[in-house]
Amino acid sequence: MHILGIESSCDETGVALYDTSRGLLAHRLHTQARMHATYGGVVPELASRDHVRRLPALVREVMSEGARDWTELDVVAYTAGPGLAGALLVGASFAESLALALDRPTLPVHHLEGHLLSPLLAEPRPEFPFLALLVSGGHTQLMAVRAVGDYRLLGETIDDAAGEAFDKTAKLLGLGYPGGPALAALAEQGDPARFALPRPLLHAPTLDFSFSGLKTAVALKVGAPDWRAEYAADLAASFQQAVVEVLVAKTMAAVRATGLPRVVVAGGVGANRRLREALAEAGAEQGFAVFYPDVALCTDNGAMIAFAAALRLEAGARVKWDRRIEVHPRWALEGLRQG
Amino acid sequence: MSLPRETSAITLSLSDENAMAALAARLAPCLAPGWVVHLVGPLGAGKTTFVRAILRALGHTGPVKSPTYGLVELYPVSGLNLYHFDFYRFATPEEFYAAGLEEYFDGTGVCLVEWPEKAAALAPGADLTITIEPRPDGSREVRLTASTPRARQCLNRLAAP
């Protein structure tokens, strides 16, 4: 079965073609460079309405790279939420229209379910059940995943996402925005013990996170009269250490609370080297294995949507033929059941 | 009969988050459909914290996450549709239109906007602008500036003993 996956919940436009017997055939992600080449000039990065212009070309590219004819498509899957209403509407309208034209059904997919299941596309593939740590620019959550469609939220950020804290702290240190990866690179040269920064909610009884105060603490250090530019690497390292410590401590607490033997990390922050090292150490100490998606699939993408649709169908989910354009800008993953 | 003197700006010194919450609680009853509030201040100033305090004062008990990633979060609370915006990620003011956000400013909801300056002149004008300036000791200087008659009335009530 061939499933086309369409993702347009925020900035990225992602399209992929997944074959349930052969795996991922092709996937494409809009990049700023590609837009410049295709249309010329500077195109706003956040342009929800530009999803409209990106989608037809991306779908054509994916079908051509996957060497599949339109008649071979079986299902069109799309991100129905959560996300920016305007951006979601573009992907959903496009997917429903394409399916109508091809006389095929659709399957709306939850964006975070795509992220949670994306590590199952990689090798080695984790078995259910597992604990998922979803850490990106938009989300920071711990989730117990028992099976496809069986998700229980254990804890989440009450303010900023971890990736957002990285990006904004990078900006405070003059590294531009979004500069999370640049901050991590600078941190490599710094002393993580140089600055005492808070570990918000570290000892709280819940599995919730809070990173907003950490950003404020960095802003105070940078704004202090005795601040000097050469402290930046040490502050970056101290900041990264604080975030990693909290993420790892909460993950360990969640493993203890649930007894889950596997931890799956999804989202862009999962690419952070220090986080990976610290999780590996914690796993060795506490006896859990850690899994990651392919680096190319850490950010928002269409492959995870097509793949999540494939797993849902395998688990008994039904496609829809009603041509209704389904979007849920705010949509809780919990309570999502097969249907 | 003497008319009360119009108050168009108030500056306060707030020592901590509790003081900020107290101010938010006094401001919250002013908000009505169509209100636009701008929140201005550097990263880490406490803009989202202030919005959270307003939402708490209106009875919202759930989390109030940073809207930076999603650009807008909706809170139906106290009979209002309160939209919490963050334009921080705009690289150019035109992205305000590109993201399709102008439709939210149709006079039916309350719009609280962080980083309105990122949308420059395209950002719908504010009734009230809240400027938060952090001081090195961790306290905040908060300036409230009213730009419309209803916002001036609100500040009048705030300034009344």
Q: What are the mean pLDDT values of chain A's consecutive 10-residue runs (339 residues total)?
A: 95 94 94 43 55 92 95 97 88 97 98 94 94 94 95 95 94 87 95 95 94 93 92 98 98 97 94 96 97 89 97 96 94 69
Q: How far is CA B61 from the centre of its chain?
A: 19
Are the C-beta atoms of A165 and A138 separated by less than 8 Å? no
Closest Cα of chain A to B87: distance in Å?
10
User: What is the structure's pLDDT at A189?
Assistant: 96
Of A85, A160, A220, the CB nearest to B66: A160
Are residues A286 and A304 part of one domain? no
Out of A49, A164, A220, the one facing B136 most closely (by C-beta) is A220
Instruction: Indicate whether A80 belongs to any domain.
Output: yes
How many CB atoms sit inside 10 A of residue A124's CB?
8
What is the radius of gyration, based on Cα positions, of chain B? Answer: 15
Estimate to the nearest angstrom the gap between the alpha carbon of A317 and the chain centroid.
Answer: 23
User: Do both A272 and A166 map to the same domain?
Assistant: yes
Q: Among A292, A310, A325, which residue terminates a domain? A: A292
Exposure of A237 by Cβ count < 10 A (0-12 exposed, 13-18 middle, 19+ buried)? Answer: buried
The DSSP call for residue B30 is G
* Whether residue A109 is found in the same domain as residue A139: no
Instruction: Kindly state whether residues A311 and A285 are assigned to the same domain.
Output: no
Cβ under 8 Å to A: B residues 47-66: 48-49, 52, 63-66
Domain ranges, residue A255: 128-292
Instruction: Tell me how far apart the alpha carbons of residues A333 and A80 are, in angstroms, rounded to a whole number.
Output: 12
Task: Tell me, yes or no, whether A122 lies in a domain.
Answer: no
CB contact B136 to A (< 8 Å): yes
**Predicted structure pTM score:** 0.89
Q: How many separate helices (H) and strands (E) can be counted in chain B?
A: 4, 7
- Same-domain status, A112 and A158: no
Q: Are residues A139 and A223 in the same domain?
A: yes
Whether residue A148 lies inside any domain: the answer is yes
CA distances from A171 to A114, A157, B37 (A): 29, 21, 25
Q: How many CB pairs under 8 A join A and B?
A: 101
**ipTM here:** 0.85
Residues A206 and A103 in one domain: no
Q: Is A214 on the interface with B (CB under 8 A)?
A: no
Which CATH number characterizes residue A147's domain? 3.30.420.40
* Claim to verify: residue A281 and residue A312 sit in the same structural domain: no
Do A271 and A166 belong together in one domain? yes
Nearest CA in chain B to A50: B98
Whether A313 is covered by a domain: the verdict is yes
pLDDT at site B139: 93
- In this structure, the answer to whether residues A324 and A196 fall within a common structural domain is no
Residue B4 confidence (pLDDT) = 53
| pLDDT score for A46 | 55
- Long-range CB contacts (within 8 A, 24+) of A121-128: A121/A23, A121/A24, A121/A293, A121/A294, A121/A297, A121/A303, A121/A304, A121/A307, A122/A291, A122/A292, A122/A293, A122/A294, A122/A297, A124/A291, A125/A291, A126/A262, A126/A264, A126/A289, A126/A291, A127/A262
For residue A45, give the chain B residue with the closest CA: B91
Task: Provide, as residue numbers in chain B, all residues whose Cβ is less than 8 Å from the Cβ of A216.
Answer: 44-46, 134
- Tell me: the pLDDT tens digits for B80-107? 999 999 999 888 898 888 888 888 999 9
Minimal-distance CA residue of chain B relative to A220 = B136
- Helices and strands per DSSP (H, E), number in chain A: 10, 10
Domain count within chain A: 2
Question: Inter-chain contact A44–B72, Cβ cutoff 8 Å?
Answer: no
Query: pLDDT band at B5, cuts 50/70/90?
Result: low
A174 and A279 in a single domain? The answer is yes
Considering the domain architecture, whether residues A251 and A305 belong to the same structural domain is answered as no
3-state secondary structure at position B79: coil
Determine the Cα–Cα distance for residues B113 and B122; give it in Å rounded to an integer.
13
Helix or strand run (H / E) with residue A110: strand A106-110
Q: State the best of A32, A46, A139 to mutate against chain B, taking most chain B CBs within 10 Å.
A: A46
